[in-house]
Amino acid sequence: MLKIDQFAYTNRLRSAHPAEKFVFAALTLAICLIVSRPLISLAVILIMAGSIVLWAGIPLRFYLKLMLLPLSFLLVGIMTVAFSISRRPFSFLWAFTIGGFSLGITPTGLELAGNLLLKSLGAVSCLYFLSLTTPVLEILWVLKKVKTPGLFLELMLIVYRFIFVLMETAFKIYISQVSRWGYASFKTSYLSLGWLAANLFTKSYYHSQILFNALSARCYQGELRVLEMPYTFSRKNFALVALLELALLALAWWTGDDIFV
């Protein structure tokens, strides 16, 4: 989480217009979700991996680790898709039968599961591209431009800001507990963790009140308005994004006419 945030501020695409990156991620995500073809999903995964590693300069190892995160969830998830139960055991590639019911893998189930896996990874990689190259603030800026309700955006901003304050507070409490043998045994660990959680809650509540005071002290009247940073559009980048998206669509078109499943 923290590492992602750091990369968002230090990657090579940092200075690119946030709308360019947003459009790129969103269009590719849309194509990946709408066009149900393993080839397209694979292409999306590759394009995004290329953009993230080669273009934005995120270390490959780190990116692979990130991709492993959803993989574990996905594998559990697609198991239920791959396996099916039936009374007729002949359609299975592999199955075992208990009391007239067969549990096993069918070719269609396997295909569906594979599709789903690739599609999910493709979609996740689009989101990773956005979060690794674009700081949250700039994503908020784009969301504001597309008329997302202000309250929603302010909440996102405050949540984002206070994740860090909260983590720091939690870390400080943790250190103070560790230094007094708070995690020396299973029992004390259990108690300490409980204290940490409880204190974190009261501290955040206290923090929120002070923040409100501090905002009021600066004439806060219910709206968090800040100056927007100037960004410059790059025609080259837009052309590149358009080209990539068209290529993806063309690939989808070329590999068959039943694009939408």
User: Which positions touch another protein (CB under 8 A)?
Assistant: 5, 9, 135-137, 140, 157-158, 160-161, 164-165, 168, 207, 210-211, 213-221, 224-227, 229
For another protein, the closer of residues 14 and 183 by Cβ is 14
Q: Count Cβ atoms below 10 Å from residue 193 Cβ, excluding itself.
A: 14
Element (H or E) spanning 242, and its range? helix 235-254
Residues in the chain: 261
For another protein, the closer of residues 210 and 261 by Cβ is 210
For another protein, the closer of residues 98 and 229 by Cβ is 229
Sign of CA dihedral 249, 252, 257, 258: negative
For another protein, the closer of residues 83 and 160 by Cβ is 160
Burial string for 152-183 (b: 16+ CB within 10 Å, else e) reads ebeebeeeeeeeeebeebbeebbeebeeeebe
Minimum distance, C-beta of residue 51 to another protein, in the bound complex (Å): 23
- Residue corresponding to tokens 């359609």: 91
Strands (E), 91-249: 94-98, 101-105
Minimum distance, C-beta of residue 9 to another protein, in the bound complex (Å): 6
Minimum distance, C-beta of residue 137 to another protein, in the bound complex (Å): 4
Cβ-contact 114, 38 below 8 angstroms: yes
For another protein, the closer of residues 164 and 253 by Cβ is 164
Minimum distance, C-beta of residue 140 to another protein, in the bound complex (Å): 8
Minimum distance, C-beta of residue 17 to another protein, in the bound complex (Å): 15
